[in-house]
Amino acid sequence: MNLDACRAKKKVQQLGDNPNVFDVTYNGAHSCRMFLTIPSLFLTARRISKDMPQTTMPASTSYSEWLSSGTPAKYIDSIPTARLAAPEDGGHHPMMDNVGDYLVSAIRTQQIVSAIRSQQIYVVNGDEFSPQVEGTVELLESILASKSEKYVDASLRHFFMMNNWRYLEVTNNRMELDGMFGDVWLQRNREKVQQKLELYKRDSWDKVLEFLKLDVIDDSMEINIATDLMKENLNLFNMQFKETIRVQCTWSVHDEKLREEIIESLKNTLLPAYGTFIGKFQDFLKSNAYKYIEYGMFDIQDVLDSLFLGNKKYR
């Protein structure tokens, strides 16, 4: 880029005897803005110091040094909502509302300061931000994981983390940050969401599915014993299913698409197992089976569709 083509004139002047503190001023309109690949934050007259306690990463400092210095952690901790506990309903943490702005501010400010000190206009693409984004998101993950420990229910911890990772992806799309986060990050983030979904199902729904297993029914078993065992298991399933729904209908998912994905995954896991069990149960009890069946297949679907709406109670 030809800097002479820009009408704005930059003046950098050292303040006092401190070689690390400058006054930076721009006079005139920036005719070069249209050539930048990302929106720039043109600074008005202000002091810039290597010792400033902000998100800026000094040009002479590596990202690992900047991260280990605690600057990003201090900035995240300075967000008022960052001190709040994880929400009772397992929804995304309130501080996530500010995370997108934080990442943009931290990374772009770093590039601007680097440009000022080198007296160049620094044009970058999304890939060059990858280490900064990755490191800061890893820091964010550790903070969220720590907050998730408040939940006694292990499945709610996974649910909470899943909510936050999807919220970050939604923020990425809303703020059109694809060039900054990149496809690699997006793919990794979606894998994290999927992993947390599977862990949530394991810790929450495996205990429900346990009562639908038919391998406990032996062909050599007397029919009366097998029938009584299936009656008991169906009764236990009904109680465990009802209790799980009662609890999880109070949980919340911010992103409707994620809510639909979770419910669809539950249906794909639960309905085939329940249908097979009920079919076998009807083979044993014939018409008497309906006296013990509390939920039909459509009932199960309808109940699952009521999940994660933050309802006060399940009816």
- pLDDT the model gives residue 172: 74
Q: Report pLDDT digits (tens) over 161-202.
A: 999 999 988 877 776 655 556 677 788 889 999 999 999 999
- pLDDT the model gives residue 223: 81
The count of C-alpha atoms lying within 13 angstroms of the C-alpha of 265, restricted to the half-sphere facing its C-beta, is: 17
Quick check: 182 and 211 in contact, CB under 8 A? Answer: no
How does residue 212 score in pLDDT terms, banded at 50, 70 and 90? very high
Helix (H, G, I), strand (E, B) or coil at 27: strand
- pLDDT the model gives residue 132: 56
* Stated pTM of the model: 0.71
Q: Report pLDDT digits (tens) over 67-122.
A: 555 556 666 767 778 889 999 999 999 888 877 666 666 555 555 555 555 544 33
Percent of the chain with pLDDT over 70: 59
Q: Report pLDDT digits (tens) over 222-245.
A: 888 888 999 999 999 999 999 999
Better-predicted residue by pLDDT, 216 or 273: 273
Better-predicted residue by pLDDT, 66 or 266: 266
Q: Quick one: average pLDDT of 256-282?
A: 96
Q: Where are the domains of the chain?
A: 51-200, 213-304
152 Rama sector, left if φ>0, alpha if ψ -120 to 50, beta otherwise: alpha
DSSP class of residue 45 equals S
Quick check: 297 and 271 in contact, CB under 8 A? Answer: yes
Quick check: 133 and 104 in contact, CB under 8 A? Answer: no
Quick check: 36 and 29 in contact, CB under 8 A? Answer: no
**Cβ neighbours for 80, distance < 8 A, ≥ 6 positions apart:** none
